A = this chain, B = another copy of it.
Amino acid sequence: MKAQRVDMFVSPMATPADTSGLQKLADSGKIRPDTLVALVGKTEGTGQHDDWGRVWADVALREWTAKFLDIPVADVAQRVIFVLSGGCPGVITPHIAAVTREMVDVTDSGDAKRLVVGRAGSEPMAPEEVGRMGQIQKVAEATHRAMADAGLTDPGDVHLAMVKVPGLTVASIRDAESRGETVVSHDLTFGPEGAGSYANDAAALGVALALGEVQRSSLSDQVVRRNWDLYSEVAMTSSGGEKRHGEVVVFGNGAGAQSELQIGHAVTKDFIDAEGVRSALRSAGVKFNGGLPDAEDLAKRLVHVFAKSVIPGSDQVRGNRITLLDDVDAYQIGKALGGMLIASVTGRTTNYVSGGERNSHQGPPGGNIVAAVVRSETS
């Protein structure tokens, strides 16, 4: 019998094009051309839709991977999924997490569910599909294939679905409109009516559809960024103007998997809810002393945390007004605040935190998704 063995290695990056951490992992044999399945990271730069830091990192990481796999750059996307989220404001260390997977023989797989990963690329998405049903359905379809690739059938075993989809650009809007099509927004930002937000949210609804968190009958172009009762509890999505396809990476715990790692997740109840972050650590298996995570577990067993930091749609947090919705730089500040919330609990800054949108179908209204990967105590 064959089973997945998945591992994850987190390397800080010193510049957007810094591949030295990956090279060290390659040199040590921790990642191999036949085991590398995904690169997931935070890149420094503006975090805006034309963030050249992120674009450059994407180019540099693909070139490195092409050399590592000894294949043309154009073929890299068939072999390794890239999810790069731009912008590290505040206390988010730019980093790349390499995910490896190999199939190993097992005789007795035991009871414990362990980390598995699956990935899939979507069909190409036209600019007129961004933020609309076309994007939702193509992400849902890719999510199904990613689950199958992970060997997961129960949506309850999925703890994290990372998705990167195309957004809009001045050029792609012009392209769509020259063909008589409309686009969801002329605002290229991640603001409340921005194309980036619509793209991220269509992707989240695509995951929710695939996992049965929302019903197809409740979906239409009109509900995107309007009906906040529709959401996924495990979708973390981002978007970039340069992309043409969506990419989905699903993480879950699978019976029989031979990984040393396991994953868990939770949802914060509001924007300042540190306890929600602690719940995610608990869910993933971190031990607690009193109300706080065990320091040694944080240092030795916690591998990585993935979190969203979506700004609440209301100007009220626990009954008091905040002015974040009015801030001209709310997108940056909102993302930074999530980074602080996570870092203040994990005691480290190498956390994957994306966000800054106002309201989202990623997580319930006001709350955010946090997932944690932990090394098993018995491993």
Contact = CB atoms under 8 A, between A and B. Distances in A.
A91 B272 contact: yes
B322 A90 contact: yes
B191 A59 contact: no
Interface stretch (A72-80, A107-115, A323-331): A323-331
B52 A45 contact: yes
A127 interface: no
Nearest to A88: B323
Contact of A272 (B321, B322, B340): B340
A322 B170 CA distance: 11
B291 A318 contact: no
Nearest to A312: B91
A17 to B, nearest CB: 7
A88 B46 contact: no
A289 interface: yes
A376 interface: no
A326 to B, nearest CB: 5
A329 B326 contact: no
Interface string A304-341: 00000000010101101111111111001110110111
Interface stretch (A31-39, A243-251, A346-354): A346-354
Interface string A16-28: 1100000000000
A14 to B, nearest CB: 7
A185 B337 CA distance: 25
Contacts of A55: 15-16, 56
A350 B90 contact: no
Contact of A274 (B53, B321, B329, B344): B344
Interface string A150-192: 0000000000000000000011000000000000011111011
A290 interface: yes
A144 interface: no
Nearest to A46: B46
B318 A348 contact: yes
A104 interface: no
Given A91-B324, A340-B337, A344-B274, A318 B52 contact: no
B318 A347 contact: yes
Nearest to A331: B328
A271 interface: yes
Given A187-B187, A290-B290, A90 B337 contact: yes
A223 interface: no
Contacts of A290: 289-292
Interface of A: 12, 14-17, 44-46, 48-53, 55-56, 59, 88-94, 170-171, 185-189, 191-194, 225, 271-274, 289-292, 313, 315, 317-318, 320-329, 332-334, 336-337, 339-341, 343-345, 347-350, 358-359
4 cross-chain pairs, A with B, having the tightest CB-CB distances, nearest first: A290-B290, A193-B193, A291-B292, A52-B53
Given A17-B59, A90-B327, A320-B350, 5 more contacts: A89-B329, A191-B193, A272-B344, A272-B347, A274-B274
20 contacts: A12-B321, A49-B326, A50-B326, A56-B56, A89-B323, A90-B322, A90-B334, A90-B337, A91-B324, A93-B317, A94-B323, A170-B315, A186-B359, A187-B187, A189-B328, A191-B194, A290-B291, A290-B292, A318-B349, A322-B349
